Structure 1
Amino acid sequence: MEPDLFTAAAEERQEKDPAGSPLAVRMRPRTLDEVVGQQHLLKPGSPLRRLVGEGAKGPAGPSSVILWGPPGTGKTTLAYVVSKATNKRFVELSAITAGVKEVRAVIDGARRATGGFGKETVLFLDEIHRFSKAQQDSLLPAVENRWVTLIAATTENPYFSVISPLLSRSLLLTLEPLTDDDLRGLIRRALADERGLKDAVTLPEDTEAHLLRIAGGDARRALTALEAAAGAALDKDETEIALSTLEETVDRAAVKYDRDGDQHYDVASALIKSIRGSDVDAALHYLARMIEAGEDPRFIARRLMISASEDIGLADPHALPVAVAAAQAVAMIGFPEAALTLSHATIALALAPKSNSATTAIGAALDDVRKGLAGPVPPHLRDGHYKGAAKLGHAQGYVYPHDLPEGIAAQQYAPDAIKEREYYTPTRHGAEARYADAVEWTRKHLGRRRS
């Protein structure tokens, strides 16, 4: 039996007996207006609206769509809605288990359905990035001849994972992670909707907050956990899903952490102070609490970049590049994999030698500037690249350090008001010992002595 016949039979059973389907399936939107999130794709006149025939007066658009986004953001849902809105058969395949044989069977079935019943087909291919180039090539005839409307989903960058001929024939839509407000609306709809839990249970604020955290922006995960917790509550003859019930059901304790309250700042502060104190285990503990509570990984990465300069500085000049690289990686991959990158950076920073000399140096310099200790730039350092500069004495008498054997010229660089100030006091921790030697040598050759 062909894969599309299995899908059609399952869909028919679902429509006849929706109560027997999982909550995530029952709450699947039937129209684009019911879709949660992705408002940038759902505006009037958007390509997605035109794909389902809303306001489309011009020529037909592409018959292939690639949906790129994180798990649980609605890729399968959008494919299903397109098939319903256009009254087309919906066939779903996964690139993990399907191959060219299965794809050809669906395409052959689609051609027969079109010819025999006038019913066009939407082929939803999940995780297309797992298909080889040859397997993706097998889709091209169906796309070019419009035998099917192909909707392919991927969590990987399609510019790297999808062949150019298919990409050029497709409408690429990028899905964004669902926000807490998106998921909150979905959860509350599922609690009340006739297709959902029909007000059989209520969800207190603390339980809802924990459900949002463990969902991690994944609508399917949120509804699956909600359904399990609701079943557990009703088994106890309870009409309210207690936090403890949700914790037991998903086997995941609620972390006491408010992303907008004291815990947010207290735990973040403890993370940085543990790194500063070189306690790698404590640092990892606080990092884990932030991750588990659903903290924005970009916020954590920013704090690590600050720590690299504030508390490590020149004692390990590689610390800041490590933190910056971590921030860039986090922005590209997101959770859950970003936890590994944040752990990598946290361990490196916690175990690095420490120095706050860069912090105290700029602090002292800023303090003097704010007190008005600035003064004019010495004449020989001023810009001399304009007519008349020499008459003003600008850039006259400047000694070019590269012309000297030791590469350093004993001339005044600072304004008179602060020419005796020494802002930088290096430590001899780690790599900064080299800077300590360097600053002692340069001050000596500049004709200055440390105060």
Structure 2
Amino acid sequence: MTLFDPPAPLAERLRPRTLAEVVGQRHLLGPGKPLTRTLASKRLGSFILWGPPGVGKTTLARLMAAEVDAHFIALSAVSAGVKDVREATVEAERLRGRGQKTILFLDEIHRFNKAQQDALLPHVESGLLTLIGATTENPSFEVNPALRSRARTLVLEALTPEDVRGLLERALSDSRGLPNVTAEPEALDLLARLADGDARRALSTLEVASTLAEPITPEAVTEAFGRHLPQMDKGGEDFYNLISALHKSVRASHVDASLYWLARMIEGGADSLYVARRIVRMAAEDIGLADPQALRLAVAARDTAEFLGSPEGDLALAQAVVYLALAPKSNSVYTAWKAALSAVREGESLAVPLHLRNAPTALMRSQGYGQSYAYYFDDPSGSFAQDYLPHGVALDLYSPNGEGWEDRMAERWRKLREAHGEAPEGT
């Protein structure tokens, strides 16, 4: 570093030098906690560190290597490949000859494809490399099962606002940080809340805010932070968790929660048409015949979102979500359809009864196709008396147990089953 080189970013300057300086992760690093006990034993196995951005995955990996006196090789799966892994193994072989262990830290391990992850297996299994992988994605989906079975997964948690505020106070008092800068308490409170548990983002914003005002004010924090976009990986677990939360809130008729999760998805950059398709699914699955208009409205919202685009079309999605949340609920058709599919997949492919078969030709009619079929409008009672399922098949698939329109139709369904000679459940 020369006189003219810029200083390292604040987050880098304040990187913890010991485990005692690590903020958060008390479930792993407190007295008697799992990682503390492992490091005390000096027998460190391979790990996958799974957690949101800015919680110290890289820092923790470096400190773990230092605790067990291991050589530390850091790679990023964004730019590294099998060649880099091969070079790391060569270096590890050389150091093993001197009695030194090697830890390979692979940041964003989920970006390695299956073949690249498989290239790590023999070296991890032999103990040549102790692997510490870091990922923001669920390892269950993104890391090969064979590699997961050889590496213990540690879940890192987002920092609490209290953790972040303490880190900000340290930054203003530590000689490596901003010791000559002051901040209003309200500014630190605001930044601790906006950071969403991301220490790196909090420190970076503090550093920018320190150039805008002295002391740092809430207005300076807001300007330095920029627009607050909710964290969401559009292809990762968070995305599907948000969709799940939206669907379950609609199902439970919680209007405010439904709107909140929809807003989180839209503000996080989710594809409006994907969200619209899921809303259509909600209408069919959870409202069903309790309110037949729900599906029409959901489809109309989907068309509007496609026609107008975002943000104008997002209002139609909000309208649909509110309607579906308020609507009476029924999953009777959803349940009946699953049962019908199961009956078909697990049963025999029995022949269609002759009287139900299509008979467009004389030859077919001569074989009995369509014979003795009772046309409902000519012979209602005969129509009800004939069989509509293959011989010997008895099914009980649809059971109207929902609200709204379906509840009103339940009595008609009971009478229809009686007319068909079927005994409705419970009679």
Change over 3 Å in CA distance of 1:356–1:171 after alignment to 2: closer
Q: CA deviation at 1:90?
A: 2.6
Instruction: Spell out the pairing of 1:160-239 with structure 2 (5 A cutoff).
Output: 160-205=141-186, 207-233=187-213, 238=214
| Matched residue, 2:333 | none
Distance in 2 between residues matched to 1:221 and 1:135, nearest whole Å: 31
| Partner secondary structure for residue 211 of structure 2 | helix
Q: How does 1:288-437 map to 2 (within 5 A)?
A: 288=263, 314-315=290-291, 346-352=318-324, 354=326, 432=405, 434-436=406-408
Letter in 2 for 1:226: L
Matching of residue 248 in structure 1 with residue 223 in structure 2: yes
Q: Per-residue deviation at 1:313?
A: 11
5+ residue gaps, structure 1, are 1-12, 256-271, 293-303, 323-341, 359-404, 406-425, 444-451
Query: Could you tell me whether the CA contact under 8 Å between 1:23 and 1:196 is conserved in 2?
Result: yes
In 2, Cα distance between the equivalents of 1:22 and 1:286? 34
How far apart in 1 are the matches of 2:35 and 2:124?
Answer: 17
User: Which of residues 112, 128, 133 is equivalent to 1:152?
Assistant: 133
SS at match of 1:232: coil
Whether contact under 8 Å (1:67, 1:175) holds in the other structure is yes
Given residue 188 of structure 2, which amino acid in structure 1 is its aligned partner? Answer: E
Q: Quote the offset at 1:144 in angstroms.
A: 2.8
**What secondary structure, in the 3-state scheme, does the structure 2 residue paired with 1:66 have?**
strand
Counterpart AA for 2:227: R
Q: Distance in 2 between matches of 1:139 and 1:247?
A: 44
1:89 maps onto 2:64 in alignment: no
Q: What amino acid is aligned across from residue 209 of structure 1 in structure 2?
A: D
- Displacement after TM superposition at 1:284 (Å): 6.0
Q: CA deviation at 1:440?
A: 8.9
Deviation string 1:314-338 (CA, Å, 9 cap, x unpaired) is 436989xx9xxxxxxxxxxxxxxxx
Give the aligned partner of residue 94 of structure 2. Answer: 112
2: CA distance between counterparts of 1:229 and 1:38? 27
**Residue in 2 that maps onto 1:30:** 17
Q: How many residues align?
A: 297
Contact kept in structure 2, 1:89 and 1:122, CA below 8 Å: yes
What pairs with 1:56-95 in structure 2 (closer than 5 Å)? 56=41, 60-62=43-45, 64-95=46-77
- SS of residue paired to 1:20: coil
In 1, Cα distance between the equivalents of 2:291 and 2:85?
A: 58
Match of 1:21 in 2: 8
Verify the 8 A CA contact 2:158 2:196 in the aligned structure 1.
no
Offset at residue 156 of structure 1 (A)? 2.2
**For the residues of structure 1 that align with 2:316 and 2:154, how far apart are their CA atoms?**
33
Paired residue type of 2:176: R
The one-letter code matched in structure 2 to 1:181 is E
Cα deviation, 1:288-314, whole Å, max 9, x if unaligned, reads 49998xxxxxxxxxxx9xxx9xx9994
Inter-CA distance 241–130: structure 2 relative to 1 (3 Å threshold)? same
Structure 2: unaligned runs, 5 residues or longer: 231-248, 268-278, 299-313, 331-383, 385-402, 416-427
Question: Deviations along 1:176-230, whole A, 9 cap, x unmatched?
Answer: 222212212222212211221115222431x223312331121111111111111
% same residue: 46
After TM superposition, give the deviation of residue 33 of structure 1 in Å.
1.8
| 3-state SS of paired residue (2:205) | helix
Determine the C-alpha separation between the residues in 2 that align with 1:357 and 1:173.
40
Instruction: Please give the alpha-carbon distance, in whole angstroms, between the structure 2 residues aligned to 1:119 and 1:137.
Output: 24
Cα 1:110–1:441 shift into 2, 3 Å: closer
Letter of the aligned partner of 1:161 in structure 2? E
Partner of 2:26: 39
Distance 1:170 1:157 in 2: 14
Residue number in structure 2 paired with 1:376: none
CA positional deviation for 1:44: 3.0
SS of corresponding position for 1:91 = strand
Deviation at 1:100, TM superposition (A): 0.2
Match of 2:119 among 110, 120, 138: 138
CA deviation after TM superposition for structure 1 residue 151, in Å: 0.7
Residue identity matched to 2:161 = D
**Root mean square deviation, CA, Å:** 4.8
Distance in 2 separating the partners of 1:167 and 1:47? 18
Residue 354 of structure 1 and its aligned partner are, at CA, apart by 5.0
Contact 1:30 1:84 in 2 (8 A): no
Task: Check conservation: 1:179, 1:217, Cα contact below 8 A.
Answer: yes
In structure 2, the CA distance between the partners of 1:318 and 1:44, relative to structure 1 (3 Å rule), is farther
TM-score for both structures, normalised by structure 2 = 0.56
Contact 2:110 2:135 in 1 (8 A): yes
Partner of 1:330: none
Does the aligned pair in 2 maintain the 1:29–1:35 contact within 8 Å?
yes
Distance 1:146 1:184, change over 3 A: same
Q: What do the CA deviations read for 1:58-114 (whole angstroms, capped 9, x no partner)?
A: xx352x111112222221111011123233333221111110001111221233244
